Every structure is written in structure tokens, then in C-alpha cells.
Amino acid sequence: MNKDKALEELFLANKQHFDDSDAFMASLTKRLDAVEYIKQHQEATIRRYKMAVVIAFIAGIVSGIIAMTYILSTPMDVPVFTFKNQYFLLQWLSENSRFITATAISLLMTVGITSFFGNIQELMSMRHSLHHQRTGM
């Protein structure tokens, strides 16, 4: 709303004299071409964002499936990672490596999927605002 009021005030303050000269039409045509270029650029940007989001989502799902398959296919008594040190904390990490790795992968997939849907909502709002700019609503 504030942007609409600011634009309205800008147009009211700018009192141009319209005449039938070719310079005015050339200037108007140039401005309309610039607006069309910006709209095309916005549409191309939205398409690139969509493609990047879909690729990231698919890559995340595939890598999560591969990691979970690896963890579930190894024997239960074999840790996913080990340390050559007998320090208590490192030994505990080694003993619980399967649980820690599965939890970390699950958390990363959750964050990835959440950001995926956040990006989809952002793209939809960009598309919605672009549609409103076109229709003048």
C-alpha cells in the first residue's frame, strides 16, 4: 500500500507536457521496452530458482537414501567410524556412531526439506507479485 501511495505521489508531482512530437513516442516506447525487459528477466530468474530448488531437493533425497542404505547395510556391531584413541569421549562416539550418523542425516534431510518448501513458498510469492505487476492490480 505504501508503495502504491508513493508511486501515486510521484506521478502527481511529475507534470509533463504531452505534445505530438516523435520524441515523446520514442521515449515512451523505450521505457515500455525497458519494463518488458525487466519482466522477462524476472521470469527467467524465477525459472532458474525453480530449477535450482528442484535439483537441490532431488540431490538431497538421493544422497540421504544412499547414506541411510549404507548405514543400514553395514553390520550392527561394526561402528560407522572409529578412533585409534582410548579417550572416553572418542570411545563413546565410536560405540554410538551408527545412532549419531543416522540422527545427523535425518536432521540434515529435515532442514533440507524444510528449506525446500520455504523456497517454494518464496517462489510462489515472487510469481504472485509478478502476476500482480503485469495485471496492474
The two most distant CA atoms of the chain are separated, in Å, by 90
Q: Residue 121 and residue 111: Cα distance in Å, rounded?
A: 15
Q: What would the pLDDT profile of 25-47 be if each residue is shown by its tens digit?
A: 777 788 888 888 888 888 888 88
pLDDT for the residue numbered 78: 73
Q: Residue 51 and residue 13: Cα distance in Å, rounded?
A: 43
* Residue 137 clears pLDDT 60, i.e. is over it: no
Residue 71: pLDDT band (50, 70, 90) is confident
- Choose between 29 and 7: higher pLDDT: 29
Query: pTM (2 decimals)?
Result: 0.49
Distances in Å between the alpha carbon of 37 and those of 12, 43, 102?
Answer: 26, 10, 48
Q: Residue 112 and residue 108: Cα distance in Å, rounded?
A: 6
pLDDT for the residue numbered 77: 77
End-to-end CA distance of the chain: 11
* Residue 8 clears pLDDT 60, i.e. is over it: yes
* pLDDT, the chain, mean: 77
Percent pLDDT > 70 in the chain is: 82
Residue 19: pLDDT band (50, 70, 90) is low
Query: Residue 42 corresponds to which amino acid?
Result: Q
Residue 15: pLDDT band (50, 70, 90) is low
List the Cα angle 129/133/137 in 5-degree steps.
Answer: 95
Q: What is the mean pLDDT of residues 91-107?
A: 82
Contact (CB, 8 A) for 49 and 124 = no
